[in-house]
């Protein structure tokens, strides 16, 4: 039955090959479309609040689509022109960075960049980074952070922006819920600005002396692009004092961290490098509505898409990325939204990989999710006074991690 060989005409084989190629291309096409979401407005309020899913998932309206798609050039001033980007993949490629930089410097020759650190690359590829603006307050354990014993730890840099009693309450909540339980698995810092009044700075000094967990920069809330500068100051601290650790975690002060899950994640990713992990936003459009908390004018960002970037609530940096990012940050003009600037433009310029860890970080609880689901998250954001009892209940449950 199987001994006889049938010969096929060469044309038949050619036809079969064409059919295979067609089928393969169809599979690739379907796969790409299924993973490439329709554009959504990015309307997250990055400063204090959590992502409002209903608000965030408005699809781009026809008016915005048509105004961007039909215009070959947008004119700003006498000589500044914005070329149309017809290929969406350009927004995911380092080539978007010089386009943005040229545009930003054209509309404003004094476009602000990071100036309080200087970065250069030596002849053998080594980085030389220095700081002109010392920190006003730093914890006494700073000198121990770079020791050999710190290699397996995570450094949590908590951005604490709220002033007065509200800011103090947020920090106390974080200490109660997770920061005080890190033990040898990590260290944490609350990164606060320099305040205008002596009373506020005095309160921060007292808190620092009591808890030894405050990093106060010389930056003020009134500074232009304060948030971008504050996160760079935070990462510079990690580079300067804690470069031997495995990961630095940048997070907001309403984020609950699950230390056991985060340590397990770090151990699993021990040999990974050149990566930032977080909630990946891909295919998002600027919100053009003035009332939006993340409003961006066409003057600030003239294109129809943002580059892929990570959400502001929590970002995990492998330590080898930090000198790359600091070096690139001094060259890319600042943008209104720090997470788009840092994990979008600066990361592309530094050729650092952004990794979306789906469901590993999540917003505060919603209906239909069992408590053990939340016990398996590395971080949950949007945790306020009302959620504290729920967090304690989840922490006391016996759930597989």
For every residue of 191-204, DSSP letters joined together read EE---SSHHHHHHH
CA pair distance 396, 157, nearest whole angstrom: 26
* Whether the model pTM is above 0.95: no
Quick one: how far is CA 157 from the chain centroid?
Answer: 13
What's the chain's Rg over C-alpha atoms? 24
In degrees, rounded to 5, the angle at the alpha carbon of residue 312 between the alpha carbons of residues 307 and 314 is: 120
pLDDT tens digits for range 344-369: 999 999 999 999 998 899 988 765 68
| Residue among 152, 171, 146 at smallest CA distance from 255 | 171
CA pair distance 119, 135, nearest whole angstrom: 18
pLDDT value of residue 341: 98
DSSP lists the bridge partners of residue 363 as: 381
Q: How far apart, in Å, are the Cα atoms of 182 and each of 92, 144, 148, 154, 284?
A: 36, 16, 18, 9, 35
pLDDT value of residue 5: 39
Per the CB < 8 A criterion, the answer to whether 189 and 158 are in contact is: yes
Q: Which domains are present in the chain?
A: 117-253+270-279+308-362 (3.90.550)
Per the CB < 8 A criterion, the answer to whether 229 and 291 are in contact is: no
pLDDT value of residue 364: 81
Strands 255-257 and 353-356: unpaired
Q: What is the mean pLDDT of each run of 10 residues along the chain (401 residues)?
A: 40 42 31 38 43 29 34 51 88 96 89 88 71 82 71 91 95 96 91 94 96 95 95 94 92 96 90 92 92 89 95 96 95 96 98 92 78 90 90 84 62
Strands 280-281 and 309-310: antiparallel
Count of all residues that appear for the chain in the document:
401
pLDDT value of residue 125: 63
**Tokens 């990713």, residue located:** 269
Ramachandran bin of 305, using left for φ above 0, alpha for ψ from -120 to 50, beta for the remaining angles = beta
Q: Is 101 exposed, middle or buried (0-12, 13-18, 19+ CB in 10 A)?
A: middle
């Amino acid at each position: 039955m199987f001994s006889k060989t049938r010969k096929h005409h060469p044309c038949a084989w050619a036809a079969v090959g064409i059919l295979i190629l067609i089928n393969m291309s169809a599979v690739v096409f379907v796969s790409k479309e299924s993973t490439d979401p329709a554009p959504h407005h990015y309307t997250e309020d990055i400063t204090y609040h959590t992502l409002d899913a209903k608000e965030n998932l408005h699809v781009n309206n026809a008016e915005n689509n048509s105004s961007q798609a039909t215009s070959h050039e947008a004119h700003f001033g006498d000589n500044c022109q914005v070329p149309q980007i017809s290929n969406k993949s350009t927004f995911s490629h380092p080539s978007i960075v010089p386009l943005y930089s040229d545009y930003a410097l054209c509309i404003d020759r004094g476009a602000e960049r990071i100036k309080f650190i200087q970065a250069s690359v030596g002849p053998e590829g080594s980085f030389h980074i220095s700081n002109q603006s010392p920190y006003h307050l730093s914890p006494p354990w700073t000198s121990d952070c770079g020791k050999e014993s710190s290699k397996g730890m995570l450094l949590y840099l908590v951005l604490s922006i709220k002033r007065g009693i509200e800011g103090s309450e947020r920090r106390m909540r974080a200490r109660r819920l997770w920061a005080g339980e890190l033990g040898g698995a990590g260290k944490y810092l609350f990164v606060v600005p320099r305040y205008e009044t002596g009373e506020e700075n005095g309160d921060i000094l007292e808190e620092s002396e009591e808890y030894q967990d405050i990093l106060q920069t010389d930056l003020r809330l009134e500074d232009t692009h304060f948030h971008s500068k504050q996160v760079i100051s935070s990462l510079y601290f990690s580079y300067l004092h804690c470069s031997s650790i495995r990961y630095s975690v940048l997070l907001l002060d309403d984020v609950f961290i699950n230390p056991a899950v985060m340590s397990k994640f770090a151990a699993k990713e021990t040999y990974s490098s050149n990566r930032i992990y977080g909630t990946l936003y891909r295919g998002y459009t600027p919100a053009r509505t003035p009332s939006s908390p993340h409003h961006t004018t066409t003057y600030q960002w003239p294109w129809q898409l943002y580059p892929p970037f990570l959400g502001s609530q929590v970002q995990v940096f492998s330590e080898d990325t930090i000198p790359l990012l600091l070096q690139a940050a001094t060259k890319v003009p600042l943008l209104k939204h720090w997470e788009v600037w840092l994990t979008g433009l600066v990361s592309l310029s530094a050729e650092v990989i952004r990794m979306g860890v789906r469901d590993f970080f999540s917003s505060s609880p919603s209906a239909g999710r069992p408590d053990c689901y939340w016990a398996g998250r590395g971080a949950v954001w949007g945790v306020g006074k009302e959620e504290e009892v729920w967090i304690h209940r989840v922490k006391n449950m016996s759930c597989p991690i």
